[in-house]
A and B are shown apart, each in its own frame.
Chain A
Amino acid sequence: MKFQTTDPAANPTAILYKRCTIDLRSGDMSFADIPCRNLEDVLGGFGRSFQDLAEREIENAYCEENPLIVNTGLLTGSSVMTGMRTYFSGYSPIKGSKAGLPAAMWSTGSGRFGAKFKWTGLDELIFENRSEKPVYVVITETDAGPQVALKPAEHLFGLSTHDKIMALQKGYADAHFAVIGQAGENWQNNYMGAVALSTENQLKEHEDKSRFAGRGGMGSLMGYKNILALVAQSSDKFKPLSEAIKQVNLNVIKGGGSARIQPLSRGGGGGTWAAYDVLQEFHAVPVNNFRPQGNDIPEQLFRENVEKEYNIKSQACYRCGITCHNNISEKNADGSKGEFLAKFDYEPLNLFSTNIGIHDAGQAARLIQLGDNYGMDAISLGVTISYALSYNERHPEKTILNGATFGDYEKIRELIIQAGEGTLPEIGQGSMRLSQRLNETSYAYHVKGLEIAAYQPETNPGYIWAIAGGHMSMGTYGLLTREGKSDLESWVRGITEDKLHIVGFDMIGLCKFFDITKGIGTQMVVDCLKSELDLDVSTDDIRAAVRRAFLRGLALELRQGYTKAEFCLPAEVSENPNQNIKLPNITSREFIEKLEKRVWEIFEPELEGLFD
């Protein structure tokens, strides 16, 4: 980026980002330095890409006019802890309105690809049209600036995400990779393709430890465009740590934002897995397609029980001190670490174990690993499978697919393989389409066509207004369980003010664990921008930019044909309230109607004129 001002809020056009646009049909490419329109453009990520998507009228995700936008955030590749994010944006094949129009979507992940991409000198890559043959794209840093090349990729076709990365690593030193798996290659029948991002641990240890930009089928869109991989090749460009950044990074490690994510051995909470113990106290751990039974079944996946049979090791992303994830491996007879199985984060763990009736950690880990290697979004895949299992449980006389039921590991594994290989569109196209085809939509756990995260909807009516999936674009998932808020005012304020700010992390290039409760409108971020980029910006300016970006997302949903009736939770939640959940009922029809009225009264006036 080029900075010709220190005041990005007042003079955004004096900040320019470098964009490369590639016409995949002709192979033509052009580079341009684009002046920022506003602070959202400066911050980057979906704050910028959604403004570009809004300029296009797209009726089908799989059309040449639908771009795939790859970009980074202002602090991607900086010395600020967690500054590793890459963003993939486009109109989504899986998330769409009942009018048949695709929703605008972004997805993001860590790994080292984002920093390497930024260090080539490029800030944004836009793919137009589609290539006739499979290609991979190499972005290289040169003395003359970033160079981009399209290369034939037939040799990569059919490989898993991990195998693609391993194959590319042999040819590109000092590079990192963003790839799709077979699911994305089979985009016609699989709308939930993810993009896998290589990690330092993966390249060193040759174990399948990718990070994923999973949500919304951006890997399927990449597959439609016939792009199998991106390679970013550059030298590392970390600045020496300033005192200000040292202090911020220390706060991130020790502060309230991430302390609970740190490993138990460092006095932390043991990663996101710890949510199991807490949610079980309320009988709010999703069981058998989001129907907790009020018993102790979820406890089999408590860490203390898994540790008896498996080796668990905490690991961090590159140069990050948070150590957020737990790697689970087989345990050898002597107690040492055996074969690596998978990374246990709360979402995939629950959705591939308790919520599909699997209570063995090893089986859950192997299912997670399988889905990851085929390159599918763990949330959409897990929830669509749990819907199918629930259908079969309700209709033992006329089951669908292979007749799999809750807990049937082998048959569930078969479903994942078939979906990944593109031979099972019933699963690959997501729960909304499957439930509509079967005419049983009430227990399909999606909102606006995108499957919900592993938090019971009974605990989170905020899902209704999330613009890019459950918990990552509306931080209300703990408002009832964690904060005990069950009154209307708290929920109106949470949705319309405080909790929407979680999306700021999907603009600036940082992971949400940087400061999950406060967002990016904080003095810590102000200090980082000053120290790293000599930018003077206030917390109020940042918060205003994040709010505008969120509202654009909401406005785009309405423009893509969503009616207000589609802003709703799965019907089962209110039609058949789950009495086992030990929390106040905040999803009754009456409560939701009042909440809808109040929230729209606040949002609607602000939506007017956003695209003028």
Chain B
Amino acid sequence: MVVNVKLVGLFQTGRFKQKDREYPAGIKVQDVINELKLPQQHFGIVLVNGVHADIDTVLTEGDHLVIMPIVDGG
């Protein structure tokens, strides 16, 4: 199945900004994070089709997945 993956901020470095990517059915957000080797300590926010989701969310064909680092002000 195809999932549109968007990476935000530092996650783009050495990877990509936004891409359609092929994944096996039943894949979870955590699997995508592992596959892209995103640094765990920065992992912050996941949106699936514009709605906050967690790393155990199962993705389906055509989903739009956004993975963002954590945010803090100052």
Interface residues of A (CB under 8 A from B): 254, 256, 259-261, 264, 267-272, 274-275, 277-279, 281, 324, 345-347, 453-455, 471, 477-478, 481-484, 512-513, 516, 582
Contacts and interface: CB of A to CB of B under 8 A. Distances in A.
Contacts, number: 81
Given A345-B74, A481-B71, 13 more contacts: A254-B41, A256-B41, A260-B41, A269-B70, A274-B9, A274-B10, A274-B71, A277-B8, A478-B72, A482-B44, A512-B74, A513-B74, A582-B50
A516 B70 CA distance: 12
B42 interface: yes
Interface of B: 8-10, 13, 39, 41-42, 44-45, 47, 50-53, 66, 68-74
A284 B46 CA distance: 16
B18 to A, nearest CB: 11
Contacts of B10: 264, 268-270, 274
Given A267-B39, A281-B66, A484-B45, A347 B73 contact: yes
Contacts of A455: 73
10 contacts: A260-B42, A260-B71, A264-B13, A267-B39, A269-B42, A270-B9, A272-B73, A275-B71, A278-B71, A512-B74
Q: Secondary structure of the A side of the interface?
A: loop
Given A264-B13, A278-B45, A346 B70 contact: no
A355 to B, nearest CB: 14
Contacts of B51: 484
A278 B41 CA distance: 16
A271 B8 CA distance: 15
Contacts of B39: 267
A267 B68 CA distance: 15
A516 B71 CA distance: 11
Contact of A281 (B53, B68, B74): B68
Contact of B9 (A267, A278, A477): A278
Contact of B72 (A281, A516, A582): A516
B54 to A, nearest CB: 9
B70 A482 contact: yes
A524 to B, nearest CB: 17
A491 to B, nearest CB: 15
A259 B42 contact: yes
B25 to A, nearest CB: 25
B45 A482 contact: yes
A324 B74 contact: yes
A259 B41 CA distance: 7
B9 A269 contact: yes
Given A269-B9, A484-B45, A275 B52 contact: no
A148 B50 CA distance: 59
A477 B61 CA distance: 33
Contact of A346 (B47, B50, B74): B74
Nearest to A485: B52
